[in-house]
Amino acid sequence: MITLTLIPGDGENSLAASGTHYRGGDHKAFTVTGKFGTPEEDGRIPVDLKFVYVIIWPDVELKGKFDPGEKSLRGSMEFRRATGDFVFKRSPDFIRFYPSPSTMTTRKRWEFAITAVLDRIRRDSLSPTYLVQRIKDGRKYMDMAIRARYYGKDLSADEEEEFRRLFSTLLAGDGRYYASLIAVKLASVPL
């Protein structure tokens, strides 16, 4: 997860951005400069990028093609003397399962990968068990949110962890839906 802010480039097909890495440390701030070409017959657009870090880290050069249909940027990169392939693909559904940087361990990365893949499979198949579980999780989330956030009652450590898990599994549309249900429920309760 990288935050980028676009700034005007030097030419018609150039781009520039400044950004920060989600983790702290010496490689936190960087700039991205590059250029993109005209779309090819298959619709993909050639892109050349260069990541320049403010402190310590060497520059990284990326050359690839942006595929508008897949919304991905794929290609090869050079980092010091090493080379390799890269794929940038926007998939906000998976980001909601990503653990916080302060708790990042190998086990957490595996849990993230497993949870994200299982969620994708379940959503694609839309099994009745998955739908029932989503409804149960939504109700449980609403009850905990009302109790903790609106009535000021403290949750136990286990309940707090469960609340965070439930919150992280909500889709954006579900979150808005449950927030509206919470508002209606609180409006009907006399103070």
Distance between CA 157 and CA 100 in Å, rounded? Answer: 17
Q: At 129, list the tokens.
A: 């068990």
Q: What is the DSSP string of 20-89?
A: EESS-STT-EEEEEEEE----TTS-EEEEEEEEESSSSPPEEEEEEEETTTTEEEEEEEETTEEEEEEEE
Helix (H, G, I), strand (E, B) or coil at 13: coil
Q: What are the tens digits of pLDDT across the range 125-182? A: 777 887 888 889 989 988 888 887 777 778 888 888 888 888 878 877 888 888 888 8
Residue 4 has a pLDDT of 46
Residue 11 has a pLDDT of 54
Whether the CB-CB separation of 11 and 5 falls below 8 Å is answered with no
The structure tokens 């579900």 sit at 174
Q: What are the tens digits of pLDDT across the range 95-136? A: 677 776 667 788 888 888 898 888 888 777 777 887 888 889
The residue-averaged pLDDT of 85-91 equals: 70
pLDDT classification of 91: cutoffs 50, 70, 90: low
Closest residue by Cα to residue 19 from 3, 1, 35: 3
User: Which comes out higher in pLDDT, residue 40 or 104?
Assistant: 40
CA terminus-to-terminus distance, the chain: 42
- Say what the alpha-carbon torsion angle 63, 68, 72, 75 is, to the nearest 10 degrees: -20
Closest residue by Cα to residue 32 from 12, 53, 11: 53
Averaged confidence pLDDT in the chain: 76
- Say what the alpha-carbon torsion angle 154, 160, 162, 166 is, to the nearest 10 degrees: 90
The residue-averaged pLDDT of 14-32 equals: 63
User: Rounded to the nearest 5 degrees, what angle is found at the Cα of 149, between the Cα atoms of 144 and 153?
Assistant: 75
Closest residue by Cα to residue 94 from 67, 115, 108, 123: 115
Residue 190 has a pLDDT of 66
Residue 164 has a pLDDT of 82
